[in-house]
Amino acid sequence: MNKFLNNPAFEGIEPFESKLWLSSPTMHGDEQKWVDEAIQTNWVSTVGPNIDEVEQQIAEYVGVKYAVGLSCGTSALHMATKLAGEKLYGQAKPNQGTLQGHKVFCSDCTFDASINPVAYEDGEAVFIDTEYDTWNMSPEALEKAFEIYPDVKLVIIAHLYGTPGRMQEIKEICDRHGALIVEDAAESLGAKYRLNGQWIETGTLGDYNAISFNGNKIITGSAGGMFLTNSQEDAEKVRKWSTQSREDAPWYQHEEIGYNYRMSNIIAGVIRGQIPYLDEHIAQKKAIWERYEKGLDDLPISMNPWDRKNAQPNFWLSCILIDKYAMAPSVRGEKDYLYKSASGKSSPHEILDALAAFNAEGRPIWKPMHMQPIYRMNPFITVEGSGRARSNAYIEGGGIDVGADIFRRGLCLPSDNKMTPEQQDIVIDIIHRCFK
Ligand SMILES: Cc1ncc(COP(=O)(O)O)c(C=O)c1O
């Protein structure tokens, strides 16, 4: 890191006294009140008024009839995926998943929690390549996937970094093929999308929907998640499954496999204190994204893009993509990386290392699922068809792989809503100096 601190190119910049985070929790005070009340009234369990209240407030905010509070976004996604599997293929035996023997089309550029539930349910994820326009699932690649695997009936889509995917096209494709959608809105709570001319919230666009209150999200409970639906039957099923599938009997009686996935009333107290600030956090994140866009507009980079006609992101994370010609040489192994500086150019790890040297946190773009060792043998579909085994010893090139390209050239910048404009100006200055 000294190589940045002692480098004349960075002369005059002092490390931030307190760390600038990628995205850290922002507490407002009421969180403590609701947590204290839960403890004082002894609602210290997975039932209580905070849970009832946050379920009602979130359902109202996003515009669904039912919200079921769960321990995390991952459990919400598991419940959503299992419901879809059971609807499509029937109830599974206790030792089998509902997706056994079935493929599921999945977002590729996302966090693995989006799509791990396919494996929990014994299904096989087929990864669908990304589009440059939103950094989300490419509708064209999805269409191609249905050509190759016409029997697939389930699609899991995530909205990366709070930017809605092209849901109009994706829903039309799924409708045409009779496929259900699990929507992962973990990163996009509060983001809106214009579907059939009407603005609606992400988290309401799928047949089964999930959000997260993880510590790094736009609002947090320190943990927590929710399953969102308009179906009373589905909501009741998730309430049952998430509380160990207890039957209505005086003793513990079980007819289905259960899970201990319910939200705690303490966690719900933190979320209850956060909900009134969701819109404020979005406005702060949007201002950060716009300041980066303006401050970096003379550099050979572009910001994480969004559909300005049909989407209003929540701007959870601000990211950049370095232009191809401005990429300095760099390579990545499975755990390490190497780069060279070059005049007028830079690379994600050079920028991330420079930021870290000055006590600011960025992060590489989430590594696409089709590149993850655990999913290396799963199918991957691009606009050209199968994205696997496209290289050739005798012909140059390896086929289109948008996700890999964004991973290679992109990075997430400090996006904490407590970052001041003055601090952000220094971040912008550091990035400029990386390109000198
Ligand atoms: C896209 C996405 N899906 C799912 C999750 C999982 O949510 P949780 O951490 O609440 O389980 C996260 C983040 O944590 C996420 O970023």
The best mutation among 70, 108, 187 to test binding of ligand 1, ranked by most ligand atoms within 8 Å of the C-beta, falls on 187
Here the tokens at position 247 are 């039957």
Task: Report how far ligand 1's centroid is from the alpha carbon of 415 (Å).
Answer: 17
Task: Report how far ligand 1's centroid is from the alpha carbon of 106 (Å).
Answer: 15
Q: What is the pLDDT of residues 342-390, one digit of tens each?
A: 999 999 999 999 999 999 999 999 999 999 999 999 999 999 999 999 8
Task: Please give the number of the atom of ligand 1 that sits closest to the Cα of 225.
Answer: 10
Task: Report how far ligand 1's centroid is from the alpha carbon of 89 (Å).
Answer: 26
Describe the chain by its helix, strand, coil percentages, rounded to 5.
Answer: 35, 20, 45
Task: Please give the number of the atom of ligand 1 that sits closest to the Cα of 72.
Answer: 10
Ligand 1 atom 12 nearest Cα: 186
Here the tokens at position 14 are 């002092």
Q: What is the pLDDT of residues 86-109, one digit of tens each?
A: 999 999 999 999 999 999 999 999
* Ligand 1, CB within 6 Å, residue ranges: 72-74, 77, 110-111, 113-114, 158, 184, 186-187, 212, 214, 225
Q: What is the pLDDT of residues 317-348, one digit of tens each?
A: 999 999 999 999 999 999 999 999 999 999 99
How many helices and strands, by DSSP H and E, does the chain display? 13, 18
Cα Rg for the chain, rounded, in angstroms? 22
The whole-model pTM stands at: 0.97
End-to-end CA distance of the chain: 18
**Cα gap 179→154, rounded to integer Å:** 5
Task: Please give the number of the atom of ligand 1 that sits closest to the Cα of 74.
Answer: 11
